[in-house]
Amino acid sequence: MGCALQFRNVTLGYDRHPAVHHLDGEVASGALVAVVGPNGAGKSTLFKGVVGLLKPLAGRIERDAVTAQDIAYLPQAAEIDRSFPINVYDLVAMGLWRHTGVFGGVGRQARGLIENALAAVGLTGFEDRAIATLSGGQTQRMLFARLLLQDARVIVLDEPFNAVDAKTSADLFGLIQRWHGEERTVLTAMHDIDFVRANFPETLLLAREPVAWGSTSTVLTPENLLAARRMCEAFDDHAAACAEAGVMTPATRRACSPPPCGEGLGVGVAVVGAGGAASPTPLPNPPPQGGREQTESVAPP
């Protein structure tokens, strides 16, 4: 079993500011990995790098055996124009792009695949509904049906269970398990720590810097979660350029690994409720930070 993805000292970010800083590691082919971390930790940025929408600022993401076509990606906020006059069937059918391309027909076999995908997500009978008429959970089911049809070796899901009820989450997680059983590689950004503990064998805890990566039980320890929560979200507009690994001076090291929140930002920020990290609850959002270096620039455009 080889590697689906290899991160070689990868730094990803915006306007030279790192959002994922010096990530090293490998995702084994067929792995089911949860990516966990507070808001602004770089989960979405990492995924954009993996699917090739964002070029690394430094380092490399190697996906030897996997072409861009082999990666299916469900972004956190899909850019779907829900007012567009198209029905559920046609939208799900887009998942067959690899087979149909620009001009290929959708034959009987393909229609069978589409019907199976709709049945697998529980949307049989919704074929002719306009996508504008679906609820949030139904929309997510529809997008999973499209993912099913993409038949990709690597599947990247950015917070797929946001604003989705328990029943829908459970149904959709069933599909993720099915993909895992089919030895597809699945990366999923998650906020529900309990759910990750119960269901994901491997976890990457990210807080701009990778905090820990490995089997879920060793990664999601109270100490690691606390460390992740102390992450600084703000970019420093006056940060020095990051030196290559190995030639760090104390000054560049300081610029390179941002100080804990409250240090060096001019305004002290307390990490509120740090004791909560010891209990296995979802990571709360980091407390709002004072100071000029507020976090607007963190958000990707």
Closest CB to other proteins among 131 and 176?
A: 131
Q: How far is the CB of 5 from other proteins (least distance, A)?
A: 16
Record the tokens describing residue 251, joined without a space.
């000054």
DSSP state of 270: -
Q: How far is the CB of 45 from other proteins (least distance, A)?
A: 15
The binding track of 122-161 with respect to other proteins, each residue x by CB under 8 A or -, is --------xx--------------x---x-----------
- Measured over the CA atoms of residue 260, residue 264, residue 265 and residue 270, the dihedral's sign is positive
Q: Which stretch binds other proteins (CB under 8 A): 92-100, 116-124, 226-234, 266-274?
A: 92-100
Closest CB to other proteins among 246 and 301?
A: 301
Give the distance, in angstroms, between the CA of residue 238 and the centroid of all CA atoms in the same chain: 29
Q: How far is the CB of 73 from other proteins (least distance, A)?
A: 5
Assess 85 for contact with other proteins (CB under 8 A).
yes
Q: How far is the CB of 81 from other proteins (least distance, A)?
A: 6
Assess 15 for contact with other proteins (CB under 8 A).
no
What is the spatial distance between Cα 217 and Cα 198, in angstroms, rounded to a whole number?
A: 10
User: Which one, of 166, 273, 256, 205, lies nearest residue 35 by Cα?
Assistant: 205
Give, in order, the Cα–Cα distances in Å from 102 to each of 89, 99, 105, 151, 178. Answer: 18, 9, 9, 18, 29
What is the spatial distance between Cα 63 and Cα 95, in angstroms, rounded to a whole number?
A: 22
Residues that bind other proteins (CB under 8 A): 51, 53, 68-69, 71-73, 75, 78-81, 84-87, 91, 94, 97-98, 100-103, 130-131, 146, 150, 301
